Structure 1
Amino acid sequence: MRIDVKNLTKRYKDKLALDNISFSLDEPKIYGLLGRNGAGKTTFMEILSGHIIGSSGEITIDDENPFDNGRITESICLIKEGNNFKKDLKVKNVLRIYSIFYPNWDNALADELVKEYNLSPNAKVKTLSKGMESALGIIVGLASKAPITIFDEPYIGLDAAARKKFYEILLEEYELEKRTIIFSTHLIDEVSLLFEEVLIIQDGKLVLKEEAEVLRNKTCSVSGTVQEVEDFIKDKDIIGKKQLAGMMTAYVYGDMEQAKSAGLNVEGVPIQELMIYLTENKGA
């Protein structure tokens, strides 16, 4: 399903949560939606899911507005970091309700994941630990088989082994049946290798949208004397730079081999570090 975002703005009284952003997601991929707290990520995901509407501009999915649109919202599953389910429902009732709502629901996968995460079908949501409630959200998100599946910090309370298992199952299910998966997380180093495309939002603005492989291959830090680095970066796209005691490090989009040939020290920039550089308040 194609997602088009056109001049989307969302204002809450005197706070501008989204500021005139525009982009398209036109094919099934695993997208990393990154940014600092308060950047506007959750607001964007809630508008995309049809839960709220923007102040101006629009989001369309296959040319339709998702707000109050049952045909579209049954194709979208948003799992937030908490409060996804009514507290008095039992686990088995939660799964039953969602199986009715989502046309592509996979009962076999849901049952398998309930066992994997050791959930009791008869346990009420209010009795679950934070990790177990997160596991229930992961089960719903994966078993929904929704063409657009959105995970917003879905694993609060899960230990490292449980998170690793989630990533493995997510990738297995994606390979079996492609869908648009939007993944918002602060544990970027854990999941960045899953991302096929990365979007970074800062202060309600889209500051980067790029294929993850391009970022891995073309984004680098180069270090040397101030003059050497300045000479190298003068015709490059510069993310940021810093200098100390006559030495400089610059973060650039560029050819790593070209930088090495210039005699500079060259290192790749992890996506998490790139996000930090792009969202620093000093000239993001």
Structure 2
Amino acid sequence: MSFTVNLRGVSLRYGSEDALADIDLDLEAGKIYGLLGRNGAGKTSLLSLLAAFRKPTAGDVLVGGEPVWENAPIVSRVALIREGGDFDDSDSVKAVIEAGQIRPSFDTEYALKLAERFDLPLKKKVRDLSRGKRSVLAAVTGLAARAELTMFDEVHLGMDAPTRDAFYKELLAEYMDRPHTVILSTHLIDEVANYLEEVVIVDRGRLLRHADIEAFQGMGATLTGPADAVDALGLAALAEQRLGGTKSITVADALDAPTRERAAAAGIEIGPVGLQDLFIHLTDPERKAA
């Protein structure tokens, strides 16, 4: 089973500060979503509302079609895994895994299998783990929770590249084996882009953009060819590189048919723009709201 997510007019204030303002968002069940935003944009606040860690100041937060706040049957089937995990540092790794059994769907056997795969020392205390191993422990408990809505908030921080790659692959395998709703909050955007079905961008507490990954991939383009020919197109570039007489530029907007024809006639190659480059452009503080 998977959970839908619906937010209507949701705001969250910390004192006099708006962490989130007027958020309307609908996430279908059974997809992998990327939640993107600059530091302080409101990503963690949004996830905290979905996990019922916080009550919204205004608006409705529905998970599985029901209000999530003070709804134990729903909350027990939602998992929010934050960087480093929420563990008692005096517990052993094995004790942390065994404590996961308080969740109705927690798979202890799967968790222990993952612990072996990721070389987690079961007898070691949490406080004695490296940052990377603590992140792995958090990821293991999240995967083994077998929740209908599973959210990872920068859980990969501290992992080295091979470990992150193994985590993403395990996440995808678990998702394929048991379709559910997954939200990945991350700054390593291009690294996870191939695993995402839809992307949600929050910026300064507001929903900036929500679309499927194909829509983002079709937003911009890279153009590579003779420098004079690239310049002659007169396109506003987000970034550019030059090597000898060859120039490559990145543009944020989709190219119309005449521009594509002119580029092809001039021997310019057109390719997609990485999601990370688009994100940087869309959330540029100096960019006017679209």
Question: Gapped runs of 5+ residues in structure 2?
Answer: 241-248
Give the match for residue 95 of structure 1: 97
Q: In 2, distance between residues paired with 1:275 and 1:50?
A: 28
User: What is the aligned partner in structure 1 of residue 176 from structure 2?
Assistant: 175
Q: CA RMSD in A?
A: 2.4
Output aligned runs, 1:23-172, within 5 Å: 23-101=25-103, 103-172=104-173
The change in CA–CA distance for 1:225 and 1:113 in structure 2 (over 3 A counts) is: closer
- Correspondence list, 1:169-208, <5 A: 169-208=170-209
Question: Structure 1 pair 219/64, CA: closer, same or farther in 2 (3 Å)?
Answer: same
- C-alpha displacement of 1:129: 1.2
C-alpha offsets along residues 167-206 of structure 1, whole Å, 9 cap, x if unaligned? 1111111111111110011111211111110011100111
TM-score, structure 1 as length reference: 0.87
Q: Determine if the alignment matches structure 1 residue 263 to structure 2 residue 267.
A: no
% identical aligned pairs = 33
State the Cα deviation string for residues 126-179 of structure 1 (Å, max 9, x = none).
111111111110100101110110001102221111111111111111111111
Q: Aligned partner of 1:54: which letter?
A: P
Distance 1:86 1:76 in 2: 20
- 1:214 maps to 215
The one-letter code matched in structure 1 to 2:210 is K
**Stretches of 4+ aligned residues off by more than 4 angstroms:** 221-230, 240-244
> Is 1:17–1:204's contact at 8 Å kept on the other side of the alignment?
yes
Structure 1's 115 and 18: CA in aligned 2 closer, same or farther, altered over 3 A? Answer: same
1:46, 1:163 → 2: CA distance? 23
**Contact 1:226 1:243 (C-alpha < 8 Å) held by counterparts:** no
State the alpha-carbon separation in 2 of the partners of residues 270 and 124 from structure 1: 40
Contact 2:219 2:252 in 1 (8 A): no
8 Å CA contact 1:221, 1:252 repeated in 2? no
Provide the C-alpha distance between the structure 2 equivalents of 1:190 and 1:226, rounded to a whole number of angstroms: 31
Aligned partners of 1:90 and 1:228: how far apart in 2? 62
SS at match of 1:20: strand
Q: CA deviation at 1:55?
A: 0.9
**Match for residue 284 of structure 2 among 276, 280, 283:** 280
Question: Partners in 2 of 1:242 and 1:162 — Cα distance?
Answer: 32
2:11 paired residue among 5, 9, 12:
9
Is the 8 Å Cα contact of residues 31 and 197 (structure 1) preserved in structure 2? Answer: yes
Gapped runs of 5+ residues in structure 1? 231-239
Take 1:108 and 1:190, find their aligned partners in 2: how far apart are those partners?
A: 29
